Chains A and B, each alone.
Chain A
Amino acid sequence: MKNLKILLVDDEEEFVTTLAERLELRGLQARAALNGEAALQMIEADTPEIVILDVMMPGIGGFEVLRRIKAQHPQLPVILLTGRGSTKEGIKGMQQGAFDYLMKPLNIEELIKKIQEAIESHL
């Protein structure tokens, strides 16, 4: 897990930059993208080992970003972040190839556990 390259994608800048800092304190290499377009460019320039992707974003939405990632990098695990009280969006995302989903606000230990599971299942 040390030095694992993670891409965090969310339009809430304060959220995503703080989360990146917390992951870095735990030895992971976290980068942040504030929209879908930037995320796709960053993936092409330097493919991360895992993507944490918010579903609800302006511009290219999370599901469309997921579809494009899976088309280009089918083996790249994606964990979705959903804000809804129900599990509907998460399940929809998993049907479209996401490894799993987590609901906001996050529990960082749960996120790390989920990252670990995703990486192990893609070895």
Chain B
Amino acid sequence: MNTCEDKEAAFFGKITAGITHELKNVLAIIRESSGLMGDIISISPEAVVKHQEKIQNSMVRIKEQIERGVNLTDRLNRFAHSTDETLSKIDLQETVEQLIILAQRFARLKHIVLKTVTPDQEGPAVTLVTRHVQLQMALFESLECCFTVMSAGGEINIGIHNLDGTNAVHVVCKGDLPEQSEFSRKILESKNWPVLQEIVACMQGSANLDEIEHGIVLCFPDEIGR
């Protein structure tokens, strides 16, 4: 931990991680309480409990929402722990998948779907030694750049590739999009583009427009210098 910014991030992460533990306990109590209601209904003779079917349907919805809450708190917890160390070894695919879940709400507000592209062939996981928080910020800013150009009903596909020995994240926009030159102009003029450039520069990486597809290519070194 060197800078005040690192300490701030670590503090923010610690508090958030602590709260996610509490939220998990809340979800655990709700699950057990609704489970107990279900147990009691299932051992009661039929029709003894009024509106039994409605109660059961309602409990199914509670269960589904608990699953949703658990998934979100798990992801939020991992996100919070990403501030534990300034530099750490990171699984790039896992980080992309995590960020997609955490960014879903922002995409949903724009009626855009986020998807990961599964690597073509099974191989060893792509790992980087980098600043985990900055990596997530770079991925998020690249999505924000895309949001500024895309219309409702679009889709963003994020995949990992190895381009000439460099670890690359390919963010590709699909749907009703402007011509390539107009798409590029709008991205370059968006307020998020300079932010993205600043973050990738800190990570000794790069962010460029894709000249063939509508998208952005982020490149990161295997290990950044300390």
Cβ of B29 within 8 Å of any chain A Cβ, yes or no, is: yes
Q: Is the CB of A83 within 8 A of B31?
A: no
Q: Is the CB of A105 within 8 A of B31?
A: yes
Q: Which B residues are in CB contact (< 8 Å) with A83?
A: 21, 24-25
Q: Is the CB of B78 within 8 A of A105?
A: no
Cβ of A59 within 8 Å of any chain B Cβ, yes or no, is: no
Q: Is the CB of A22 within 8 A of B35?
A: yes
CA distance A44 to B48 in the complex (A): 43
Q: Is the CB of B21 within 8 A of A108?
A: no
Shortest Cβ-Cβ A-B pairs, 8 listed = A85-B74, A105-B28, A85-B77, A18-B32, A105-B31, A83-B24, A104-B28, A14-B29
Known interface pairs A18-B32, A21-B36; A104-B43 also in contact (CB < 8 Å): no
Cβ of A64 within 8 Å of any chain B Cβ, yes or no, is: no
Q: Which A residues are in CB contact (< 8 Å) with B5?
A: none
CA distance A15 to B32 in the complex (A): 7
Cβ of A25 within 8 Å of any chain B Cβ, yes or no, is: yes
Interface of chain B, main secondary structure? helix
CA distance A109 to B35 in the complex (A): 11
Which residues in B have some Cβ–Cβ distance to A below 8 Å? 20-21, 24-25, 27-33, 35-36, 39-40, 43, 66, 70, 73-75, 77-78, 81
* Chain B residue at smallest Cβ distance from A106: B28
* Chain B residue at smallest Cβ distance from A81: B28
Interface string of A52-90 (1 = CB under 8 A from B): 000010000000000000000000000000011110000
CA distance A106 to B32 in the complex (A): 8
Interface centre among A15, A21, A25, A56 (most CB of B within 10 A): A15
CA distance A22 to B70 in the complex (A): 21
Q: Which B residues are in CB contact (< 8 Å) with A12?
A: 25, 28-29
CA distance A22 to B30 in the complex (A): 13
Tell me the A17-47 residues at the B interface (CB within 8 Å): 18-19, 21-22, 25
**Count of chain A residues with a beta carbon within 8 Å of a chain B beta carbon:** 17
Q: Measured between C-beta atoms, what is the minimum distance from B197 to chain A in Å?
A: 31
Given contacts A18-B29, A106-B31, 16 further A-B contacts (CB under 8 A): A12-B25, A12-B28, A12-B29, A21-B36, A22-B32, A25-B40, A83-B21, A84-B77, A85-B75, A86-B78, A104-B25, A105-B24, A105-B27, A105-B30, A105-B66, A108-B32
Q: Which A residues are in CB contact (< 8 Å) with B81?
A: 85-86
Known interface pairs A85-B78, A105-B66, A105-B70; A18-B24 also in contact (CB < 8 Å): no
Q: Which A residues are in CB contact (< 8 Å) with B39?
A: 22, 25
